[in-house]
Amino acid sequence: MPDLPENAMRSEVAVESENAVRSEDGLPPREDSVLSVRRLAMTLTSRDGVSTEVTADVSLELGRREFVSIVGPSGSGKTTLLRAAAGLRRPTRGEVRFEGQPLADVVPGISVVFQEYNKSLFPWMSIGSNVAMGARRLPKEQRATRVEAALAEVGLTGFASRYPFELSGGMQQRAALARAMVSDPKVLMMDEPFASVDALTRGHLEDVVARLWEHSTCAALLVTHDVGEAVYLSDRVLVLSARPSRVLAEIAVGLPRPRTQRETRQTPRFAELSAEVLDYVEQAGRASGLGSPGAAPAAPG
Amino acid sequence: MRATGTLMAPRGRRPVLLLLRRRLGSWLLGLGGLALAALTWQLLSLALASSIFPTFSAAVADAWSIVTGPVLTADLVPSVLRTAVGFSLSGVAGIIIGLAVGYYRLLRELTSALFDFFRSLPTPLLVPVFIVLFGLGGTMVVAVIVTAAIWPVLINTANGTAGLDPTMLDTARVCGLRGPSLLGRVILPAVSPQIFAGLRVAISVSLAVMVVAEILGGSSGIGYFINNAQQAFQITDSYAGILLLCVLGWLFDSLFLLVERRLLAWQRGTVGGEGDA
Ligand SMILES: Nc1ncnc2c1ncn2[C@@H]1O[C@H](COP(=O)(O)OP(=O)(O)OP(=O)(O)O)[C@@H](O)[C@H]1O
Ligand SMILES: [Mg+2]
């Protein structure tokens, strides 16, 4: 593997400098980084011994209070990237640092909500017990009140004794969010948390996440297919190329907060930003359509 | 307001009633099937009037006298105990080995050929070997049961564990679960549907193998009793023994389903719909 220069596309990344920083804390996110992924490469080997280079070279910095989204074509290694960033998988190359320390395993400060809610809640536990799983590292006497508070925050007061199958998909995903937030993490990671709910519920869940994040002190890293959702929620949007993935573009959003579904999505700026992100996503998709699946493209980009 | 109130009330109650009626209905139907078989037996035996085919009523009467007589403690109770002990040992060992084999791929690959080999050994062939090892008695019967009944549990547990969703395991890890708490709170419950399926097969295997072992090398037990009765041409006794064996199997299975239904209540919702027995 030749030592590649910093991602070629990175140079033409349009960072609107005046919007790049979140207005309320006024800190440049790069200097106050809670999570940093540096030149990460992931090669996965399937059970029958076939190796695939899923991630070629991805770097990202997540500021302490930042909300960053990652979009990219299906199969571009977004989930793989998230797993590595959470300390669940060892990087093949590169490194992940959490609060300045190299990340070798899962840590209490990072919570993850996975793609399929039906797999991420434990179906044999009540909603309360599920949320309490996220609070295992807290002192025993705090747990019950924290679980209750977390359930209240996602609008599930009174559902603690119900079982996941008794709840709708949207409610289950809110419970998964409560479990992730109950430990008051430094970083909340979400892998397409709203992929399997209807559009109306989706909008509602986006606002639940936005509110949770605003009320907390954590940074958020969201993987999504939905360009509008990425722009609506984020401070920055990273677009990944097709597999093996690189960062194709990085778009600063800078829409004022608090945002609302009705108003924010109507603004011309929102439309502009969404179009910009969509352009890159389509570019990534085209590249993957041309290249033969599994084989690395001759030239990146 | 009142309109919705009256609409809501029966809607809430009806599924329970329906379920109860369906349960009761299927139970009655099952009973009807049994009654039909008994009646056929009775009529057929009366029509044939053969000395080697006793009537149903005679077999039942004989079975009753067995249950209330000395054969109960001499043969029936030992058989039940052997089956229970053999089944329990198979269950515990099958689950432990199955979890280990399912979780560690290296172990799985190391043992798969070995297990396939042992699994395909016909149980009756093992009886003489175990008679040499353990003598004629309960220990031998239990050992034979374990060598046969462990496989459905072990294989099911191993498959279930190997097929655990990585996302689920990752979720558990992110919550800080590891070691015994990972096993107890996530892995075991997640695999429990497969474990229970294996255990249920193991029950019928245990019963069948118990009888075979007692016939081939027992000094007591229901299998020994049936075998003796057949060789002594006490035909009614042997039919009564078989009848008792059926009742025993039904009792074991019902008890098992009762436990399973309680422990796997959460699964009803994920599978979708009420599973009828
Ligand atoms: N354990 C594994 N072994 C080998 N290949 C894997 C493994 N897990 C995932 N892959 C491959 O890695 C690629 C990226 O997978 P990943 O799930 O990270 O993509 P993704 O961007 O999250 O996709 P989606 O948008 O569909 O969720 C896929 O092509 C997949 O086939
Ligand atoms: Mg994914």
> What's the CA-to-centroid distance between A76 and ligand 1, angstroms?
7
Q: Give B175's contacts in chain A (Cβ within 8 Å).
A: 133-134, 136, 179
SS3 content of chain A, % helix, strand, coil (to 5): 35, 20, 40
Which region among A35-39, A67-71, A208-212, B47-51 has the lowest average model confidence (pLDDT)? B47-51
Q: Give B275's contacts in chain A (Cβ within 8 Å).
A: none
Give me the pLDDT at residue B13, please.
52
Question: How many residues in total does chain A contain?
Answer: 301
Q: Number of folded domains in chain B?
A: 1
Domain that holds residue B153: 56-264
Separation in Å, CA of B174 to nearest CA in chain A: 6
Q: Give A112's contacts in chain B (Cβ within 8 Å).
A: 170-171, 174
Mean pLDDT of the A211-227 span: 94
Indicate the pairing of strand A93-98 with strand A236-240: unpaired
Give me the pLDDT at residue A2, please.
42
Q: What residues of chain B, 161 to 200, have a C-beta less than 8 Å from chain A? A: 165, 167-168, 170-177, 185-186, 189-190, 192
Looking at chain B, which residue has its C-alpha nearest residue A166?
A: B269
Q: What is the pLDDT along chain B (277 residues), one digit of tens a residue?
A: 333 333 333 444 566 777 777 778 888 888 899 999 999 999 999 998 888 889 999 999 999 999 998 988 899 999 999 999 999 999 999 999 999 999 999 999 999 999 988 888 888 888 999 999 998 889 999 999 999 999 999 999 999 999 999 999 999 999 999 999 999 999 999 999 999 999 999 999 999 999 999 999 888 999 999 999 999 999 999 999 999 999 999 999 999 999 998 888 888 655 443 333 3
The per-residue pLDDT of chain A, averaged, comes to 85
Output phi, psi for B233, to 5 deg: 55, 30
Strand partners, A240: A247
- pLDDT level of residue A211 (50, 70, 90 thresholds): very high
Which position has the higher pLDDT, B25 or A16? Answer: B25
Separation in Å, CA of B91 to nearest CA in chain A: 21
**Residue B176 DSSP class:** T
* Residue minimizing CA distance to atom 29 of ligand 1: A75
Mean pLDDT of the A153-165 span: 93
Which position has the higher pLDDT, B237 or A293? Answer: B237
Q: Where are the alpha helices (DSSP H) in B166-221?
A: 166-174, 179-182, 188-217
Q: Give A164's contacts in chain B (Cβ within 8 Å).
A: 269-270
- pLDDT level of residue A286 (50, 70, 90 thresholds): confident
Answer yes or no: is pLDDT of A291 > 70: no
Tokens of A286: 């085209």
* Residue minimizing CA distance to atom 25 of ligand 1: A74
Separation in Å, CA of B14 to nearest CA in chain A: 18
Give me the pLDDT at residue B104, please.
93
Output phi, psi for A113, to 5 deg: -110, 120
Report angle CA B72, B76, B82 to the nearest 5 degrees.
Answer: 145
- pLDDT level of residue A198 (50, 70, 90 thresholds): confident
> What's the CA-to-centroid distance between B97 and ligand 2, angstroms?
33
Give me the pLDDT at residue B21, please.
78
Q: For residue B215, what is the domain's CATH number? A: 1.10.3720.10
Residues near A15 by Cβ (< 8 Å), separated by ≥ 6? A250, A251, A252
Separation in Å, CA of A275 to nearest CA in chain B: 33
- What whole-number distance in Å separates Cα of residue B147 and Cα of residue A162? 42
- What whole-number distance in Å separates Cα of residue B200 and Cα of residue A19? 64
* Residue minimizing CA distance to atom 16 of ligand 1: A77
Nearest to B139 by CA among B93, B86, B91: B86
Residues near A69 by Cβ (< 8 Å), separated by ≥ 6? A221, A222, A223, A224, A229, A230, A231, A233, A234, A236, A237, A238
C-alpha distance from residue A4 to each of A92, A108, A151, A249, B145 (Å): 16, 34, 47, 17, 64
Output phi, psi for B84, to 5 deg: -65, -45
Chain B touched by A120 (CB under 8 Å): yes
Output phi, psi for B53, to 5 deg: -135, 85
Residues near A298 by Cβ (< 8 Å), separated by ≥ 6? none
Ligand 1 binding residues, C-beta < 6 A: A 44-46, 52, 54, 72, 74-80, 243
Note whether ipTM > 0.90 here. no
Q: How far apart are the first and last CA of chain B?
A: 40
| Residue contact A112–B171, C-beta within 8 A | yes
Ligand with an atom nearest the CA of residue A92: 1
**Pair A56, A240: CB distance under 8 Å:** no
- What whole-number distance in Å separates Cα of residue A98 and Cα of residue A187? 9
Instruction: Select the residue of A112, A116, A125 nearest B174 (Cβ to Cβ).
Output: A112
**What is the C-alpha radius of gyration for chain B, rounded to an integer number of angstroms?**
24
DSSP E strand stretches across chain A: 33-45, 51-63, 67-71, 93-98, 101-102, 110-113, 187-191, 219-223, 236-240, 245-252
Nearest to B141 by CA among B90, B98, B96: B90
Instruction: Select the residue of A106, A119, A137 nearest B167 (Cβ to Cβ).
Output: A119
Domain-embedded: residue B243: yes
Domain-embedded: residue B16: no
Looking at chain A, which residue has its C-alpha nearest residue B193?
A: A124
Answer yes or no: is pLDDT of A299 > 90: no
Nearest to B126 by CA among B245, B222, B220, B212: B212
Asked whether the whole model's pTM tops 0.90, one would answer no
Domain-embedded: residue B28: no
Ligand with an atom nearest the CA of residue A53: 1
Chain B touched by A196 (CB under 8 Å): no
- What whole-number distance in Å separates Cα of residue B145 and Cα of residue B85? 9
Mean pLDDT of the A159-188 span: 93
Nearest to A6 by CA among A265, A285, A286, A246: A246
Local structure of A101: helix, strand or coil: strand
Tokens of B1: 């307001």
Half-sphere exposure of A182 (CA within 13 A, CB side): 33
Domain-embedded: residue B276: no
Tokens of A46: 């399937």
Local structure of A250: helix, strand or coil: strand
Strand partners, A38: A95
Output phi, psi for B20, to 5 deg: -60, -45
Separation in Å, CA of B265 to nearest CA in chain A: 8
Indicate the pairing of strand A101-102 with strand A93-98: antiparallel
**Pair A265, A246: CB distance under 8 Å:** no
Q: Which atom of ligand 1 is nearest to the CA of A192?
A: 27
How distant is the alpha carbon of residue A14 from its chain centre? 21
Q: Give A133's contacts in chain B (Cβ within 8 Å).
A: 172, 175, 177, 185
Report angle CA A173, A179, A180 to the nearest 5 degrees.
Answer: 90
Domain-embedded: residue B214: yes
Angle between helices B188-217 and B77-103 (to 10 degrees): 140
Looking at chain B, which residue has its C-alpha nearest residue A124?
A: B266
Local structure of A192: helix, strand or coil: coil
- What whole-number distance in Å separates Cα of residue B250 and Cα of residue B245? 9
Domain-embedded: residue B8: no
Tokens of A93: 């190359």
Domain-embedded: residue B211: yes
Answer yes or no: is pLDDT of A300 > 70: no
Mean pLDDT of the A5-34 span: 46
**Pair B63, B244: CB distance under 8 Å:** yes
Domain-embedded: residue B185: yes
Separation in Å, CA of A48 to nearest CA in chain B: 13
Tokens of A242: 């097709």
| Residue contact A116–B171, C-beta within 8 A | no
Local structure of B125: helix, strand or coil: helix
Nearest to B143 by CA among B43, B45, B210, B243: B210
> What's the CA-to-centroid distance between A239 and ligand 2, angstroms?
14
Nearest to A106 by CA among B169, B174, B180, B186: B174
Q: Give A123's contacts in chain B (Cβ within 8 Å).
A: 266-267, 269-270
Q: What is the pLDDT of residues A28-40, one digit of tens each?
A: 445 689 999 999 9
Looking at chain B, which residue has its C-alpha nearest residue A163?
A: B266
Q: Give B171's contacts in chain A (Cβ within 8 Å).
A: 112, 114, 119-120, 122
Instruction: Select the residue of A106, A122, A165 nearest B174 (Cβ to Cβ).
Output: A106
Chain B touched by A230 (CB under 8 Å): no
Residue to probe by mutation, ligand 1, list A43, A44, A281, most atoms within 8 Å of CB = A44
